[in-house]
Structure 1
């Protein structure tokens, strides 16, 4: 390979890493308002019904869990941003990889719990004689859906961050070498 093509390849690789670093920073920064908005919408979700009584977010463990996971993911995103600015604080790419994976999985579990709550609120469960509740608590259900949508945006940010951090970790290793056909045939003779 000529020195000109090596310089172009190195320049292209540096541009890609710079682009990924900027994308990483933007996504981590985006997690904070999405999580904060989801926390706010969830925490202020309540509705009073003259027939059935007051319904608040803290009546549901799944919504409390959603708030906790959003707080954890926003805090982690802030710490990761600070650590990326100060290289001496955290230089191991695999730590971001593992942390991004954990955050993404926690976000999936909390989102699933809210999906289950909303499913039961909209459809009920006829086998155990639960009727749907959203006709009586429509504003509560709508706000819970908005919180879930904001939570999904947080998940999408962490999904892309997981891919970026995986690329950073695994790009440090050479791909496995595949033996050539000539080597295999020589061993059989």
Structure 2
């Protein structure tokens, strides 16, 4: 029983840390902007709205932070009501939580990877597509986006670790001798 409580505490710590990194990622993306004078008095402002990948990344990381917050409250409520007793009577819910954790990890990773691809294109440009290197003009914007991407990948790794605890909770209910047969009580 103490191992279950230890895993629950570790999961709570991972969720809090993941929430912090997800919120930091969202804030870095949403509030980053830089304005430069292009020609004489014509100004160009770089924001996350200029790339769809950054918009999607902001919304996905916000949703993942909200999901992890809900799961954190759900786990603390179950822990308080049951005194830390995580028994195997909730197999269906354990599978649902495991699948939701998997979806959150993969969506966050995919959104960060799409943003990374867009940022790489902004950094290097593409002569074939006649796209200029945006990071030559908007250096601070690009550095801050790089920090946001780094935070997003750290959050993805933390959420993958959370998913392993969900997997443990699901698969500990099954017999080690028989494939996907529930343990007898």
TM class, shorter-length: 0.7 to 0.9
**Aligned residue among 59, 62, 87 for 1:71:** 62
Hey, what does 1:7 align to over in structure 2? Answer: none
Q: C-alpha distance in 1, partners of 2:168/2:144?
A: 36
Paired residue for 2:101? Answer: 100
d(CA) in 2 for partners of 1:54, 1:29 = 34
Q: Report the counterpart of residue 45 of structure 2 in structure 1.
A: 54
Structure 1 gap ranges (5+): 1-13, 179-189
**One of 11, 23, 26 as aligned partner of 1:36:** 23
Superposed, 1:10-29 pairs within 5 Å as 14-29=1-16
For 1:107 and 1:73, the matched residues in 2 are separated by 7
The alpha-carbon deviation at position 84 of structure 1 amounts to: 0.8
The Cα of 1:60 is off from its aligned counterpart by 1.3
Once the 2 structures are TM-superposed, how far is the Cα of residue 151 of structure 1 from its aligned partner?
A: 0.8
Please list the CA deviations of residues 71-112 of structure 1 after superposition, one character each: whole Å capped at 9, or x if unmatched.
111111111011112227xx5211220110000011011101
| Cα RMSD (Å) | 2.0
SS in 2 for 1:27: helix
Question: Deviation per CA, 1:88-147, whole angstroms, max 9, x where unpaired?
Answer: 7xx521122011000001101110111111110111112112121111111110010111
In structure 1, what is the Cα distance between the partners aligned to 2:48 and 2:141?
9
Task: Report how far residue 64 of structure 1 moved.
Answer: 1.0
- 1:136 corresponds to: 137
Structure 2 gap segments, 5+ residues each:
82-89, 180-185
TM-score by length of 2: 0.83
- Higher Rg: 1
Per the TM alignment, residue 177 of structure 1 is displaced from its structure 2 partner at its CA by 4.4
Q: Is the 8 A contact 1:31 1:73 kept in 2?
A: no
Tell me which residue corresponds to 1:6: none
Superposition misfits of 4+ residues, deviation over 6 angstroms: none
| Structure 2 Cα separation of the partners of residues 48 and 86 of structure 1 | 47
